[in-house]
Each structure stands twice: as structure tokens, then as C-alpha cells.
A and B are shown apart, each in its own frame.
Chain A
Amino acid sequence: MSAATSYVRLMVVDDSNMIRSRISQVVQGGGLGPIHLVGLARNGAEAVRMARATQPELVTMDLTMPEMDGIECIGQLLKMNPRLNILVVSALSDKSTAIAALKRGARGFLAKPFSDDELRMALLEVMEAR
């Protein structure tokens, strides 16, 4: 939670516009408490640049993306802010991928495809882990 404001600053990272838009819609649809969307990034490199400017506190992170993948991006974002909460949202639904993401520092893993309720639940769990 930001010191100056009462909302959580969220950045969505995914190379699919459909997924970025869907996560935005679910977040803005309520049920998650005060979350403010501060950025939509299309790949890991854009996410790192955007995070410098917007300082998110919560990130949803795809893994398979062009330019910089999600695993590399998690490492770079956590170097900038070790307290950042990252929820990986990926189609790579095997256990070893989830474990690799969590070892890298992500706080949660949600496999695609997901329902709106599954996304809300996963975001709440990650936020409660703060």
C-alpha cells in the first residue's frame, strides 16, 4: 500500500492485448479493494522501463513474451523493488514452471485459462501475502 495513497499500484505484463484488457476489466470490476492500474506492458523490457516510472506494488506477469521473458523480468523487477508482489499468469501450466517462477521470487502462480473468479482469488492471495 502506498504511503501517500490508499490504493495498490498494479502493472499488468502480457504480450496479448486480450489478456491485458481482461485483467484490467476484472480489476476495475471491483471485489478486490482499492487497486489502481498504473501500467500495461507488452513484454518484459517494456515492463522494466514502465516500472521505473510508475513504481508498481503488484504485478501480473506472463512468462512467454518476446524481447524479455517473464522469468528474466521478475528478476529485474525484484532488483528494483524486493518487496514487489508478483502473480505469474501463464499458459505454461506444468509444475516445474510454477516452481521456477516462485523460486525466482514470484508470490503466486495462476494458470491460463482462468475464470474471473480465479483471477480475483489469486490476486487477493498474493496481496494478503504482503
Chain B
Amino acid sequence: MADNALHEAELKLFVDSVRRYFKATTLQEPQITSAFLGTGDIEGHDFNGIVTFSGSHNGHVIVSMPGALLRELLLLQKETDLSESNLLDAVGEIANTLAGNARSVLGADLNISVPVKLHGSSGIRARVRKHPCVITLRWGRQPALVCVDMERRA
């Protein structure tokens, strides 16, 4: 029961954070299409930003987005460099923002790493919990996914 409560709190925290990110940077809120507890490998998109948690919690958040979404996001910000490395930089920064914002709810004892960025849509595998929280969304016509796999340290 307590474990479920943690799932719900995390889901709300990260759903709110994703909404706020798009609203602030693009003035267009995303549509949250689903939020669920993942089982097995989760099919992600081509560009992935991963931030690792330590301190009060242990785990990570993964932001997974297709190149088309990231290109659109950068173009809206008048960015002309749409190279692969810049798309990876963008998805890493989004992961960093969502993870950093979590401290406003989970407290300053939550430490976050600099983002690791990966290109390739290999399945996202839970490392900490059997069933990580998965949020799928659509911004305009583009899909994206946020996977939150974390637990409070005993």
C-alpha cells in the first residue's frame, strides 16, 4: 500500500513537471496519453537522456524522445544547429530539468547526476524497481516517454 502511494506521488510529480516544461518553453502543453507501471522492457524513442538519483533516493529518470520532436523544440527556440549531438544535448537537458524539479517535492537530500545521453531505441529496462513508472505523452503530433525508476533509501 505504502509502495503504491509512492508510485502515485512520483507519477503526479513528474506528470506536473513534464506539463510545466512544455508550457514554459513552448507555450503549448503536452497531452499526457498514459501513466502506468511498466512491465518488462519498455519501447523508447531514438534520443534518450538519463539522470541518476542518489542521496535520499536511488534510481533514475529517463526522457525518451524522437528526433522530430527535439528538432521542432529547438526550432521553436530559434536554434539552427539540428545536429545529432545537439538533439542529444536537448534531451539530456530536459531530463536534467525534470530530475532537478523533483527536489522541490522530494527534498534537497535528493542528489542528481549530470545527464547521460544515448542515441538508439533499445528497450528501456528497469534497474531499481520491478515496475517503474512510465508516462507517455504527445506534444503536437510527436510522441515521447518519461520513465521514472526510483525508490526511497531505507
Q: Which residues of A have CB within 8 Å of B86? A: 17-18
CB of B104 within 8 A of chain A? yes
Binary contact readout A79-103 vs B (1 if CB under 8 angstroms, 0 otherwise): 0000000000011111111000000
B24's partner among A15, A19, A94, A118 (CB-CB below 8 A) is A118
Specify which chain B residues have a CB less than 8 angstroms from the CB of A66 in the assembled complex: 114
Within the complex, what minimum Cβ distance (angstroms) separates B14 from chain A? Answer: 13
Query: Shortest distance in angstroms between B24's beta carbon and chain A's nearest beta carbon?
Result: 4
Contact B103 A93 (CB under 8 A): yes
A113 to B98, CA, bound (A): 9
A91-B89 in contact given A65-B114, A113-B25, A118-B24 (Cβ < 8 Å): no
Choose among A18, A94, A114, A118 the residue that contacts B93 (Cβ–Cβ < 8 A): A18
Q: Which residues from A are CB-within-8-Å of B20?
A: 113
The contact of B100 among A25, A65, A112, by CB within 8 Å, is A112
Let me know if A96 and B108 touch, CB within 8 A: yes
The answer to whether the Cβ of A115 comes within 8 Å of any Cβ in the partner chain is yes
Smallest CB–CB gap between B26 and chain A, Å?
9
A55: interface (CB < 8 Å): no
Q: Which of B21, B24, B78, B100 contacts A92 (CB 8 A)?
A: B100
Distance in angstroms between the alpha carbons of A48 and B92 in the assembled complex: 24
Closest chain-A Cβ to B55's Cβ sits at a distance in Å of 12
Q: How far is the CA of A96 from the CA of B107 in the complex (A)?
A: 9
Q: Kindly provide the distance from the CB of B12 to the nearest chain A CB, expressed in whole angstroms.
A: 16
B25/A115 in contact, CB under 8 A:
yes
Which residues B21-68 have CB closer than 8 A to chain A?
21, 24-25, 27
Contacts of B144 in A (CB 8 A): none
Contact A64 B112 (CB under 8 A): yes
Nearest A residue to B78 by beta-carbon distance? A25
Q: Which residues of A sit under 8 angstroms from B78, Cβ to Cβ?
A: 25
The answer to whether B100 touches A90, judged by C-beta atoms less than 8 angstroms apart, is yes
Interface status of B118 (Cβ within 8 A of chain A): no
Tell me, yes or no, whether B124 is within 8 Å of chain A by CB.
no
Q: Give complex CA distance A97, B107 in Å.
A: 10
B84 within 8 A of A: no
Most B Cβ at <10 Å: residue of A17, A91, A93, A96:
A91
Known A16-B89, A25-B79; 18 more pairs at CB < 8 Å: A16-B96, A17-B89, A18-B74, A18-B86, A18-B93, A21-B81, A22-B77, A64-B100, A66-B114, A90-B100, A91-B97, A91-B98, A93-B100, A93-B104, A94-B103, A95-B104, A114-B24, A115-B24
Enumerate chain A interface residues (CB-CB to B < 8 A).
15-19, 21-22, 25, 64-66, 90-97, 111-115, 118
